[in-house]
Structure 1
Amino acid sequence: MNEKLVKKWARILLGGSLVYAGISHLTVARKAFRAQVPDWVPLAKDDTVVYSGIAEIALGSSLVLTDEAHQQGVGKVAATFFTAIFPGNISQYVNRRNAFGLDTDQKRFIRLFFQPVLIFWALKSTDNL
């Protein structure tokens, strides 16, 4: 399989995952996502979950549907989004909040190392690296 095709499928998989996560924010996992919202965020936790869900649906759709001329820009926005929500993962770890099967300090700590993978994935699959 050539590199261009691998990147395309990686981008589509990431985009689809974001759409799924965004829909989950608005429906079945809404309560669990509240556990990740840091206390210092000025919006209500539920509002933050809704807005981030909408952002994920938009970003995921953009990753899947964007033309080649705009992929790098969408990839940078997605990487920035993953960076911006990282404090939520830190908050979940520091405050020992259980959600998504992350019910031990070890599991929550290990989860922190996946955020850089998502950032890399967003950049690599959109030809930013």
Structure 2
Amino acid sequence: MLNPKTSTVQTVFRIILGAFMIWAAIGHLTLQRQEFQAQVPDWIPLGKDLVVILSGIVEFVLGFGMVFLARHKVKFGIALAIFYVLIFPGNIAQYINGTDAFGLDTDQKRLIRLFFQPVLIIWALWSTGALKVLFSKKG
């Protein structure tokens, strides 16, 4: 079951999430680069601008796949979930360092944001049918 049938609601949510990723990618590559740089932890061995540009390219590819490559939706859903896990340290760093960006100008707002990352991970997996594939008893 590599490409399970998904409901209309799942399809709509997959496209919304993909569009959100494309929108975020545009921000990474244009006017919001400085805001995104605030989320790159200092321990990353690459320049912050390079990390923002590279992550923006990845976001664009993942968003494009979520919206337009439904035949491969499970692969894109899993890849996007992994991407959300990989960028989570940036959100943690923003909270720990008290860095203001994207209107997250208090510790409380930055802390609350941390709880939305699992929601995005589940959203990516659910909307693409990847949860069904990952938890399928067929081997």
Q: TM-score range by the shorter chain?
A: over 0.9
> Which ranges of 4 or more aligned residues in structure 1 deviate by more than 6 Å?
none
2:98 to 89, 96, 99: 96
Matched, 1:26 2:29: yes
Which one of 6, 9, 12 corresponds to residue 9 of structure 1?
12
Q: Structure 1-normalised TM-score?
A: 0.95
Root-mean-square deviation (Å): 0.8
Quick one: which of 71, 79, 82 aligns to 1:80?
82
Deviation of the 1:67 alpha carbon: 2.8
What SS does the corresponding residue of 1:120 show, helix, strand or coil?
helix
Partners in 2 of 1:25 and 1:91 — Cα distance?
18
Structure 2 unaligned spans of 5+:
1-5, 132-139
1:27-81: CA deviation from partner (whole Å, max 9, x where unpaired): 111000000000011110000000000100110000001133x211110000000
Partner of 1:54: 57
Q: Larger radius of gyration, structure 1 or 2?
A: 2
Q: Find the aligned partners of 2:12 and 2:111 in 1 and give their Cα distance.
A: 29
The size of the alignment, in residue pairs, is 126
Instruction: Work out the CA distance in 2 between the residues paired with 1:86 and 1:93.
Output: 11
Q: Deviations for 1:94-117, whole angstroms, at most 9, x for unmatched residues?
A: 000000000000000000001000
Among the aligned pairs, what percent are the same residue? 55
